[in-house]
Structure 1
């Protein structure tokens, strides 16, 4: 078999290829780490409600759970009512008070909030709320806390001490009961069809006709929401477009 001579040119080419490969691997690792870091949030948090936090300048929606709304009351075993929404908020406040919270982003919701699994001292906040009967497992989006919910139900804890509407049912009923006039906006001009929504985290987001969440977005003028006639008008008033994923 004929030996193929190795020239100095071949050596240089091989070294160059190895250098390129090493650089590519290095950049790949850095990019991967950067991407991972971008999905991690940590620090002291403030509580929005039973399933919401503010952390590192972001509004966080706890992954996989739905806690009672702040205004929601629940039935107890003896037939009395208790403020389950406020109880869930208080419990969340107890869990995060003065502690470092670590959140791992899993998604963004249609209000542009970061959806994340959050922990304090190794405790999964969503797990704790569901296990104590202070939140429902949000099965439509995740099965992560179904076992915790089943346990709370069997023990008749919190929201499971009596039949109660889940938070999503409470929200739907509340919207249906609001006078239609509240959703008409302040302008009778049919051309003003851009919806100026205010998220639960207080962010002002406008939705144009035909956009992804336009039809699902309801406008309640009693909450400061409004209609706009143009994108320029919405922007000037302090509203922004939804962030794309």
Structure 2
């Protein structure tokens, strides 16, 4: 694949630069081989709300805060927010999942697709009526069929006549206040 240059006498700056550049190139090549994504196994350690959770990679490393890609769950202080969080926790908390990172959101969380037991966790959440398929411009999002099915069956959020989208809730109320630290 990629090879780094060998040591050259009298050029310590070159060694330092290569020590930084070579791992970056190798990491880029690995990401390209995985379709630009980082894929790993992890254990879910905490669920913050219906689309945000923390994991510990099985191969070690630091805990990571993740956001499920392709869906939008209610804010925790919004109607249905706690039920959405509890549904996600019941499905994956303390479980081993496959994480496919796509990019990062504006808050520094990795945007991910999670697999658990051969099932896409985002599709599961929308199908259970615990989140909306994330709409973008003129698209109904990646889980539009799951949302249509949950609406037809009046599951979860869709049991209400007109549940409020999280982005509309945030626009009206701002973000949920953080709970006090114990």
TM-score in terms of structure 2 length: 0.70
SS in 1 for 2:126: helix
For the aligned residue pairs, the C-alpha RMSD in angstroms reads 3.0
Q: Residue deviations 1:184-233, cap 9 Å, x none?
A: xxxxxxxxxxxxxxxx9xxxxxxxxxxxxxxxxxxxxx86xxxxxxxxxx
Q: 1:72 aligns with which of 59, 70, 78?
A: 78
Deviation for aligned residue 1:42: 2.1
Q: 1:139 aligns with which of 135, 140, 151?
A: 135
Q: 2:150 aligns with which of 148, 152, 164?
A: 152
- Counterpart contact for 1:42–1:55, Cα < 8 Å: no
Aligned residue for 2:163? 164
Aligned residue for 1:174? 173
Aligned residue for 1:95? 91
Distance 2:110 2:27 in 1: 23
Deviation for aligned residue 1:38: 6.5
Q: How many residues of Structure 1 are paired with residues of Structure 2 in the alignment?
A: 147
Q: Residue deviations 1:77-101, cap 9 Å, x none?
A: xxxxxxx111111111111133201
Residues 72 and 30 of structure 1: CA distance in aligned 2, closer, same or farther (over 3 Å) = closer
SS in 1 for 2:135: coil
- Counterpart contact for 2:38–2:101, Cα < 8 Å: yes
Distance 2:27 2:71 in 1: 33
Higher relative contact order (CA 8 A, sep 6+): 2
Distance 1:24 1:105 in 2: 24
1:45-60 to 2 correspondence within 5 Å? 45=44, 46-56=46-56, 57-60=63-66
Residues 153 and 88 of structure 1: CA distance in aligned 2, closer, same or farther (over 3 Å) = same
Q: Residue deviations 1:42-94, cap 9 Å, x none?
A: 21112111101111321101001011111111xxxxxxxxxx11111111111
TM-score in terms of structure 1 length: 0.53
Aligned residue for 1:104? 100
Aligned residue for 1:195? none
Distance 2:111 2:27 in 1: 25
Q: 2:112 aligns with which of 106, 111, 116?
A: 116
- Counterpart contact for 1:41–1:55, Cα < 8 Å: no
Distance 2:146 2:55 in 1: 25
Unpaired segments of 5 or more residues in structure 1? Answer: 1-22, 74-83, 179-199, 201-221, 224-245
